[in-house]
Amino acid sequence: MIFGYARGQGNRKKTFGALILGLYDAGVPAFVGKVGTGFSKDALELLMQAFRSLQAKESTLGQVDVSEQITWLNPILVCEIVYQSVTKDSKLRMPRFRRLRSDKTPPECTFDQIRPSSLQEYVSKRDFSLTPEPVGALKKEEGATFVVQEHHARRFHYDFRLERQGVLKSWAVPKGLPTNPGEKRLAVEVEDHPLEYGKFEGTIPAGQYGAGAVKIWDKGSYEPVFWKDDEIEVVLNGEVLSGRYILVRFKRAGQKQWLLIKAKARG
């Protein structure tokens, strides 16, 4: 949410330098940082027009650590911000303005949106102002989809992803998924990915984590047989892959190392 704006300098002297951002924590607004990038010239002018009717006489947000002069606003406008990670003191690191959100209301803007989750590692490794990868968010609904993506990174590999608990549990498979019963492949567990990644195809730019082209190789649904800490069995129903697959943690090789096995059909 936008609680105010800091005075601009130079070519932004007539608009603003940064927006003052906050989220509700147990019903009380809390400062989460400021954002000064991501604005087009038109966006700057449109925002200033909207701000004229929202100006407040007093501060609308406490404990704001900003040296610039602030014009306070009644917190009506909701905006979408992309950011690299969240600092230990709950501030957005490397935020970038994306757009206003007329489909969201102020009460929906809560600290739950930025609290650590299983996607925190995914978010911390990426600069979403540069990479086309989806930011994503934890979702409560749970389906049973899978996707396999070719990843033309520095070392070519396949990424095997299974939807579980609102995210995509993911493994990098260097030599491709086994297709014949009894075949085994090394699979290295990587960070959880957002569900939106299951539809992602594109090129991650040089200098970014995982730089290279990503292409969907197979996708579909799966039927879980069991899911344990050290062993997972599923039945894949894909366009290319089908049948029973087992993931077994390969403890001798390391905590992140698994074996992916194409199992024989049950008689």
141, pLDDT greater than 60: no
CATH number at residue 79: 2.40.50.140
Given pLDDT bands bounded at 50, 70 and 90, which one contains residue 267? low
Domain boundary among 93, 115, 137: 115
Tokens of 205: 């730019």
Residues 103 and 157 in one domain: no
In this model, does residue 116 exceed pLDDT 60?
A: no
Residue 125 falls inside a structural domain: no
What's the first-to-final CA gap in the chain, in angstroms?
58
Judge if 226 and 172 occupy the same domain: yes
The confidence score (pLDDT) of residue 188 equals 96
Task: Tell me, yes or no, whether 36 lies in a domain.
Answer: yes
179 with 245, same domain: the answer is yes
> Is 210 contained in some domain?
yes
Check whether 1 has a pLDDT greater than 90: yes
Of residues 240 and 26, more confidently modeled: 240
Instruction: Please return the burial class of 237, using the count of CB atoms within 10 Å of its CB with bins 0-12, 13-18 and 19+.
Output: middle
Say if 206 falls within a structural domain: yes
What pLDDT was estimated at residue 262?
Answer: 97
Please indicate, yes or no, whether residues 22 and 93 belong to a single structural domain of this protein.
Answer: yes
pLDDT above 90 covers what percent of the chain? 70
Asked if 104 and 162 sit in the same domain, the reply is no
The answer to whether residues 227 and 176 belong to one domain is yes
Residue 71 one-letter amino acid: T
The answer, yes or no, to whether residue 139 has pLDDT greater than 70, is no
> Considering the domain boundaries, does residue 122 fall inside one?
no
200-231 residue pLDDT tens:
999 999 999 999 999 999 999 999 999 998 99
Q: What is the pLDDT of residue 142?
A: 64
pLDDT for 3-32, tens place per residue? 999 989 898 999 999 999 999 987 889 999
Among 115, 134, 163, residue at a domain's last position: 115
pLDDT at 214: 98
pLDDT for the residue 117: 67
Q: Is 15 domain-assigned?
A: yes
Q: What is the pLDDT of residue 115?
A: 65
- Token pair recorded at residue 50: 């909207």
The pTM for the full model equals 0.60
Q: Which amino acid is at 76?
A: I
In DSSP notation, 18-67 reads: EEEEEEEETTEEEEEEEE--S--HHHHHHHHHHHTTTB-SS-SSSS----
Q: Domain limits at 229? A: 145-262
The pLDDT tens digits of the residues spanning 54-113 come to: 999 999 998 898 888 999 999 999 999 998 777 877 889 899 999 999 999 999 998 877
Is residue 15 located within the same domain as residue 106? yes
Q: What is the band of 184 on the pLDDT scale with cuts at 50, 70, 90?
A: very high
9 and 108 belong to one structural domain: yes
E strand map for the chain: 2-6, 18-25, 28-35, 70-72, 79-82, 85-86, 92-93, 96-100, 145-152, 157-164, 167-173, 184-194, 202-204, 212-227, 231-238, 242-249, 257-262
Q: Which of 6, 88, 9 is nearest to 47 (CA)?
A: 6
Domain-located, residue 129: no
pLDDT in tens, 27-52: 889 999 999 999 999 999 999 999 99
Question: Is residue 85 located within the same domain as residue 152?
Answer: no
The answer on 149 and 72 residing in a single domain is no
For residue 140, pLDDT over 80 is answered with no
Please give the pLDDT value at position 85: 76
What is residue 25's predicted lDDT score, i.e. its pLDDT?
A: 81
Q: Which of 115, 135, 164 is the last residue of a domain?
A: 115
Same domain, residue pair 253 and 168: yes
- Domain assignment of residue 224, yes or no: yes
Same domain, 85 and 184: no
Provide the domain count of the chain: 2
Give the pLDDT of residue 33.
94
